[in-house]
Structure 1
Amino acid sequence: MDIGVLLPTGTAQWGPADDARELIAFGRCAERAGFSSLFVNDSLISPRVEALTMLAALAPVTETVTLGTAALMPFLRRPVQAAQALASIDLLSAGRLAVTVGAGFPGRFGRPLYTLSELPWERRFTRLDETVALWRALWDGADAFHGEIFRFDDIPPTTKPPRAGGPPIWLGGATPAALIRAGRLYDGWLPYPPDPGDYASGLRDVHKAATDAGRGTEGITPALFVSVRIDNDVESGRRAMDGYARATYGMPLEELERIQAVVTGSAAEVLEYLGRYVAAGARHIVARLGALDLHSQREQLDRIADLIPALEVAGRHHSTSEGS
Structure 2
Amino acid sequence: MDIGIFLPTGQAQWAPAGDPRDLIGFARRAEELGFSSLFVNDSLLSPRIEPLTMLAAVAPVTDRIRLGTGALLPVLRRPVQAAQALASVDLLSGGRLTVAVGAGFPGRFGKPLHELSQVPWERRFARLDETVALWRALWAGATAFHGEFHSFDAIPPATAPFQPGGPPIWLGGATPAALARTGRHYDGWLPYPPDPADYASGLEAVRATAQQAGRDPEALTPALFVNVRIDRDVESARRIMDAYTLANYGLPLDEAEQIQAFALGTPEDVTATLHRYTAAGARHVVARLGALELTDQREQLELLAALTLPASP
Same fold flag (TM > 0.5): yes
SS of the equivalent of 1:226 reads: strand
1:113 aligned partner: 113
1:321 aligned partner: none
2: CA distance, partners of 1:26 / 1:306: 16
Report matched runs for 1:240-319 at 5 Å. Answer: 240-309=240-309
Q: Does residue 68 of structure 2 align to residue 68 of structure 1? A: yes
Q: Does residue 19 of structure 2 align to residue 22 of structure 1? A: no
Could you tell which deviates more after superposition, 301-310 or 202-211?
301-310
RMSD value over aligned CA atoms?
Answer: 1.0
SS of the equivalent of 1:300 reads: helix
Q: Does residue 200 of structure 2 align to residue 200 of structure 1? A: yes
2: CA distance, partners of 1:100 / 1:208: 21
Shift of 1:15: 3.5
Residue identity matched to 1:20:
P
SS of the equivalent of 2:167 reads: coil
2:173–2:190: 8 Å Cα contact kept in structure 1? Answer: yes
Residue identity matched to 2:49:
V
| CA gap 1:217/1:262 in 2 versus in 1, 3 angstroms | same
1:40–1:68: 8 Å Cα contact kept in structure 2? Answer: yes
Q: Does residue 164 of structure 2 align to residue 164 of structure 1? A: yes
Residue identity matched to 1:145:
F
1:189 aligned partner: 189
1: CA distance, partners of 2:247 / 2:118: 28
SS of the equivalent of 1:286 reads: strand
TM-score (norm 1): 0.95
SS of the equivalent of 1:163 reads: coil
Shift of 1:310: 6.7
After the TM superposition, list the runs of 4 or more consecutive aligned residues in structure 1 that deviate by more than 4 angstroms: none
2: CA distance, partners of 1:7 / 1:48: 11
1: CA distance, partners of 2:53 / 2:309: 31
Residue identity matched to 1:112:
P
2: CA distance, partners of 1:170 / 1:6: 16
1:190–1:225: 8 Å Cα contact kept in structure 2? Answer: yes
1:127 aligned partner: 127
2:34–2:309: 8 Å Cα contact kept in structure 1? Answer: no
2: CA distance, partners of 1:159 / 1:297: 35
Q: Does residue 174 of structure 2 align to residue 174 of structure 1? A: yes
1:226–1:262: 8 Å Cα contact kept in structure 2? Answer: yes
Residue identity matched to 1:268:
E
Residue identity matched to 1:186:
Y
2:141–2:157: 8 Å Cα contact kept in structure 1? Answer: yes
1:11-47 residue CA offsets vs partner (Å, 9 max, x unmatched): 0112421001000000000010111100001010011
Structure 2: gaps spanning 5 or more residues: none
2:4–2:284: 8 Å Cα contact kept in structure 1? Answer: yes
1:99 aligned partner: 99
Structure 1: gaps spanning 5 or more residues: 312-324
Shift of 1:164: 1.5
Residue identity matched to 2:135:
W
1:214-257 residue CA offsets vs partner (Å, 9 max, x unmatched): 00012110000000000001011111111111111111100000
1:315 aligned partner: none
2: CA distance, partners of 1:16 / 1:59: 26
Shift of 1:162: 1.5
1:172-206 residue CA offsets vs partner (Å, 9 max, x unmatched): 00000000000100000000000000000000000
2:207–2:218: 8 Å Cα contact kept in structure 1? Answer: no
2: CA distance, partners of 1:87 / 1:57: 14
1:34–1:308: 8 Å Cα contact kept in structure 2? Answer: no
- The alignment-based identity, stated in percent, is 69
| CA gap 1:24/1:309 in 2 versus in 1, 3 angstroms | closer
1:75–1:103: 8 Å Cα contact kept in structure 2? Answer: yes
2:246–2:252: 8 Å Cα contact kept in structure 1? Answer: yes
1:231 aligned partner: 231
Residue identity matched to 1:203:
L
TM-score (norm 2): 0.98
1:322 aligned partner: none
1:169–1:187: 8 Å Cα contact kept in structure 2? Answer: yes
Report matched runs for 1:71-82 at 5 Å. Answer: 71-82=71-82
